[in-house]
Amino acid sequence: MELYREDESVVRRYAEHLDGIDPDVLGRLSLREGARIVRLPSYRQVGIDVLDLSTLSTTGTFKDWVACVTVARAVQDGHTVAAAQSSGNTANALATYTSRAGIRLVAMHPPASRRRILPRLARHPRVTFVEVHAPEHQIKEILRAATHATSTPALPRLRDQFEGNKLRAHFLRDAERAVGHGWDWHVQSLSSAYGPLGFYQGLAEARPAGQAVPRFLGVQQEAVAPYVHALTGAVTDPEAEMLEPTLFRKVLTPELIAQVRDICRQSDGTVRCLPNRSYLSWEPRAIDLLSGVGIEVTRTPEGRPVERAGLYSLAGTLQAIDDGTIPPGDRALAVYTGGSGPSTEQYVPQHVVTQEGATDLLQELLTLGSSI
């Protein structure tokens, strides 16, 4: 059952809450950055709703909100070329909005994200995707070196990660008023954690001082659980298979760890690892529950979900109910960040490089872009 929705653009609707963004520029760039809340059947006397940030968004993920905001600021700053590194979803979203804005984008992605890149965006004359065979932290170093050498902005900037994601708090404030209740838990899978960090920053704006906030439950996959290691000391299997490439960030800054620790402390929340065995046991049920409320998970030709980040949120919610972390009588909001985007033909990268050749290629492409 659908409880609440913004069909067109959450970003445009709440533009007044964005710091330093011209609403007219935002309005020209905005596409469909929608969201909705759907109700699932209760489980063990716990109410479960899903914040669907996928099916009403242009590229099928919550990254559209951030991309719309960050590209609007890039337009205001007069940029005509930009660079990015991504596990796939951010690259698709930035390519969608930079091409609309007339900005040339060069975006790097790891090999595991090849299946997530949208071929129609790769064919756009203002977009160049580069597949880099290197670990995530090294790709970040390559980006820093190339953008510094060419005086090119790296998108999205941290400020706009938080600005775009804080709008969730304003959307949920209005949703609470419409449906007549709030949520005891806010559950989301974690990579960098910019989504929940922005959301909890937004709560400070959207709620009266002193009002209780939902408890945060961050869910990480077994193969990549740096927040769990840093905040709880739990040890995971170092040989575990990575099931979801978008949840890829293994190296965290002290600032990010401190910020996630703060939202756990302020909300009386926690972060948890969902072992592969547990996740895979929950996945079919999670897919069936979502299908029952009109959220169809996009599949690969082999039948595997194209993206599992949103499924991790729901599976993590069900597991937390099972083990008593979320007690009977509570209501949880599982955030479905992506996974119901368009199904397309296979993307074949035009540029594939190793770590050694990536910096020179990126600088060359950025320099060429600035001259077009």
pLDDT tens by residue, 285-329: 999 999 999 999 999 888 899 899 999 999 999 999 999 999 999
| Whether residue 284 is found in the same domain as residue 179 | yes
- Give the angle 88-75-102 at the CA atoms, nearest 5°: 65
CATH of the domain at 284: 3.40.50.1100
- Structural domain contains residue 72: no
- Whole-prediction pTM value? 0.95
- Structural domain contains residue 341: no
- Asked whether the predicted pLDDT for residue 114 surpasses 90, the reply is no
Q: Report the phi/psi class of residue 41: left, alpha or beta, with left for phi > 0 and alpha for psi in -120 to 50.
A: beta
Residue-level pLDDT at 112 = 85
Q: Which residues of 11-44 are buried (b: 16+ CB within 10 A; e: fewer)?
A: bbbbbeebeebeeebbeebbbbbbbbbbebeebe
- Structural domain contains residue 70: no
- Structural domain contains residue 31: yes
| Whether residue 34 is found in the same domain as residue 106 | no
- Asked whether the predicted pLDDT for residue 372 surpasses 70, the reply is no
**Percent of the chain residues topping a pLDDT of 90:** 85
Q: Which residues of 150-178 are buried (b: 16+ CB within 10 A; e: fewer)?
A: bebbebbeeebbbbbbbbbbbbbbebbee
| Whether residue 93 is found in the same domain as residue 125 | yes
Residue-level pLDDT at 291 = 97
- Structural domain contains residue 68: no
| Whether residue 204 is found in the same domain as residue 174 | yes
| Whether residue 41 is found in the same domain as residue 124 | no
| Whether residue 215 is found in the same domain as residue 320 | yes
- Asked whether the predicted pLDDT for residue 233 surpasses 70, the reply is yes
- Asked whether the predicted pLDDT for residue 101 surpasses 60, the reply is yes
Tokens of 199: 């959301």
| Whether residue 318 is found in the same domain as residue 366 | no
What average pLDDT does the structure give for the chain? 94
Domain count along the chain: 2
Distance CA 279, CA 286 (A): 10
Asked whether 185 and 321 are in contact (CB, 8 A), the reply is no
- Asked whether the predicted pLDDT for residue 227 surpasses 90, the reply is yes
Distance CA 372, CA 368 (A): 7
Going by pLDDT thresholds of 50, 70 and 90, the confidence category of residue 159 is very high
Whether a cis peptide bond, with omega within 30° of 0, leads into 156 is yes
- Structural domain contains residue 67: no
| Whether residue 165 is found in the same domain as residue 111 | no
| Whether residue 182 is found in the same domain as residue 262 | yes
- Asked whether the predicted pLDDT for residue 188 surpasses 80, the reply is yes
| Whether residue 260 is found in the same domain as residue 331 | yes
Residue-level pLDDT at 369 = 66
- Structural domain contains residue 320: yes
Task: From 263, 257, 87, select the one nearest 165 (Cα to Cα).
Answer: 263
Q: What is the mean pLDDT of residues 213-233?
A: 97
| Whether residue 131 is found in the same domain as residue 235 | no
pLDDT tens by residue, 19-60: 999 999 999 999 999 999 999 999 999 999 999 999 999 999
- Structural domain contains residue 69: no
| Whether residue 90 is found in the same domain as residue 202 | no
Domain, as residue range, for 277: 2-62+160-336
Q: What is the mean pLDDT of residues 333-355?
A: 87
